[in-house]
Structure formats: C-alpha cells, structure tokens
Amino acid sequence: MSHEEVHDEFIAEDVTPNRPDETRGENGAPRRMLVREHRKIGRGAFGTVVQAYLTQDEQTWYGPFAIKKVPAQTEYKSRELQILRLTDHPNIVKLEYFFTHTSPKDNKVYQHLAMECLPETLQIEINRYTSNNLQLAIKHVKLYSYQIARGMLYLHALGICHRDIKPSNILVDPKTGVLKICDFGSAKRLEPNQPSISYICSRFYRAPELILGSTQYTTQVDIWGLGCVIGEMLIGRAIFQGQDP
C-alpha cells in the first residue's frame, strides 16, 4: 500500500517498555511519553499500523517504531500482546513498548504495540521485481526461506501457530537481508484436543485442512504457508490464486 502521511501527536500516560533498555534510562515502569505519528504504513483485519517516534522530553526521540493500533475490547489484542511479550528471536519482530490510549476521533480505547520498524515487506520486494519483469535471485530466496523457517521453528517450539504466513506479514531489510515474521493478530498457542477456528489465514496461503473446515489442526498449517511463500518468491505471484486472497 502507499504510505499515507498522518502527522498526529498525542500524550500516552502508560507507555511500558517490553524489555527495559538501560541506555534509555528504563526500569520497566510505565512512563508518560509523547507519541508523534508520521505515516500510515499498513492496515489489517485487526488494526492499523503507523510509523511513529516516542519521546519523554522532546529532546531525545526514539524510533522509528511500527505501532499497531487495535481496539482494546477485542480478544486478539491481549493474545497478540501475550505472544509478542513471550517471543525473543532475531527472525521475529521485536516488541519495544505497549500502551493504551483513547482516540479523540471516536472516543474508543486502543491498545498500541510499538515494534521495531523494518523498511518493507517481502510482498513489496516481490512486487518490485515482478513489475520490472525480474525474479528474486535464488540466493535471496534461500536466505529468506531459511530465516522464515528459523523463526517459525522457534514459534512452533513454544506451541505458537502464526496462522497467517504470507509475504505481507514478513518484514525485510533489502540492504542487510534481515527478515522478521510480523503480525501476530491471528496467532494462537495451540492446545491438544482444543478446537480452533478453521476460517483463518489468507485464502491464497490457507492449508487444505483449513479449507476443508478442520478445527483440529497443528502448526503444520504454517508449513503450508511457508511453501506458498517460497513458490511466490520463485515465480513472482501467488501459486494458488482465486477471486479473494
């Protein structure tokens, strides 16, 4: 999507560092900070994402961060926060801060997840090559595939199923080759014999068992998604296309 300029500012009263950083003088306690939103960089089923900076004194600014805003009353907001607070891996997007704030536009309370910000998504990189009638180099496909699998293995070891693996939920830095899985709005810790909804995961990347309505599935649905992503990196388009992604 195009980056929409926003330039909004507000004071957040309860900004909590996920893992206190001594270089920022953090001890883990919530603090009052000014949040300056710069531009909108994404929108999903459960919230919007803006690029923003944070400061306590308007002298030292931290960021940029990718801040995901989700209505505080939804079940997904607490689940996503719990999962992000649990994870710590080089191929999983890092949560830096979290806080709630009441929007003056609609008077609703939103949870804000301030995460590290990478330049673009894998979808953007694939599209850039495709629009120029080019393909990702095999060495890049291998590098990205390895990092996705590495991050996925870490999640699955924790019992976490992402449930929406696709190129737009994978962040990349083309200059360094670093890749991170993001957007845990659909993620869940799967429990044995506990049913889960089958209407999950974007259609082009949805595993057969989900399409067939299974509510007893495993983290293997993420492996299917990874296969679809690898195929898309190789041919420049989704390998299973339909009317609705």
Q: Is 14 a catalytic residue?
A: no
Alpha-carbon dihedral 113, 51, 151, 161, rounded to 10 degrees: 50
CA nearest neighbour of 168 among 227, 229, 217: 229
The reply to whether 69 sits in an annotated binding site is: yes
| Four-CA torsion 208, 142, 43, 120, nearest 10 degrees | -170
What's the rounded Cα separation, in Å, for the pair 95 and 89? 11
174 burial level (CB within 10 Å; 0-12, 13-18, 19+)? middle
Helical segments of 118-236, H only: 122-131, 138-157, 208-211, 220-235
Q: How far apart are CA 80 and CA 138, in angstroms?
A: 33
Contacts of 192 (CB under 8 A, 6+ apart): none
Q: Using an 8 Å Cβ cutoff, are 7 and 40 in contact?
A: no
Which candidate in 8, 164, 183, 244 is catalytic? 164
Beta-bridged to residue 55, according to DSSP, are: 34, 61
List the binding residues for ATP: 69
List the binding residues: 69
List residues with catalytic annotation: 164
